[in-house]
Amino acid sequence: MIACQVLPLGANAGRLRVEIIESPALAPGLEAAVQERWTQMLTGNPRLFDGRTLSFHCFDERTAVITACVNPYRFLAVQPQVRTGVTQLGVTGLLTCGQGAERCVLLARRGRDTRLYSGRWELAPSGGVDAPPVGVCQLTLDDLREHLRREVEEELGLTIPWLDASALALCHDPAAPSVDVVFRIHISGKVNPTALNWEYDGFRWLPVRDLSHALTTIDLIEPSCALLGSLEDL
């Protein structure tokens, strides 16, 4: 298994943007295999929706530009049974509250109907970036923040003052496959999420002081383990 990789953004964080290019065509004959597998998946999970999503192509550290393209969700979801080469571009929130020894980070348990990692804990929220309207060829850092804000409301049921959402890192999960832009969101007080739905069925605030122990005792998904183990300043 290829390990998850975390790339801290450092000085690039404030310059980050996404440029959207034309999607490469699937290999000849692959579309039929994609459609067959997608039909099978819909039978097992009718919640699946074949929307327009952004796929990660590459990242240029010199310019802080993520290059992405638009693909239907099924091109991602049918993997690994049908390998399309599509890697989802997503966002992940690292929600913290409190100060000093009382500082905590939010974890959520994925629902049983999720495509990957069902029943396991992760940093939340997390999700793919929807493709912008046709003709829009760039997303700014604020656009990514706005997408994360919607994820916070929809997946956690939280409406919080949008004071700070700092881009921290890119996290590559080869199992998904996905590359997420990771944002830190710090809120002043502990607020309990209210949305228990098919995406998440449990939440917990984990004291940062207990992180080392939690990495070996809580069933955290690999990307969250990699992030919590590599980011020094939570």
Q: How far is CA 113 from the centre of its chain?
A: 17
Domains belonging to the chain, first-starting first, are: 5-230 (3.90.79.10)
Q: What is the largest CA-CA distance in the chain?
A: 57
Tokens for 231, please give them. Answer: 């980011």
Give yes or no for a contact between 112 and 211, defined as CB atoms under 8 angstroms apart.
no
Residue among 1, 16, 222, 20 at smallest CA distance from 138? 20
Other Cβ atoms closer than 10 A to 26? 17
pLDDT tens digits for 31-60?
999 999 999 999 988 888 999 999 999 999
C-alpha to C-alpha distances, 161 to 87, 145, 150, 158, 191, nearest whole angstrom: 32, 13, 13, 10, 12
Can you give 166-189 as a three-state secondary structure string?
EEEEEEEECCCCEEEEEEEEEECC
What confidence score (pLDDT) does residue 96 get?
92
pLDDT tens digits for 171-220?
999 999 999 999 999 887 777 787 667 788 899 999 999 988 888 899 99
What confidence score (pLDDT) does residue 198 get?
76
Write down the residue that tokens 């590559």 correspond to: 172
Mean pLDDT of the residues in the chain = 90
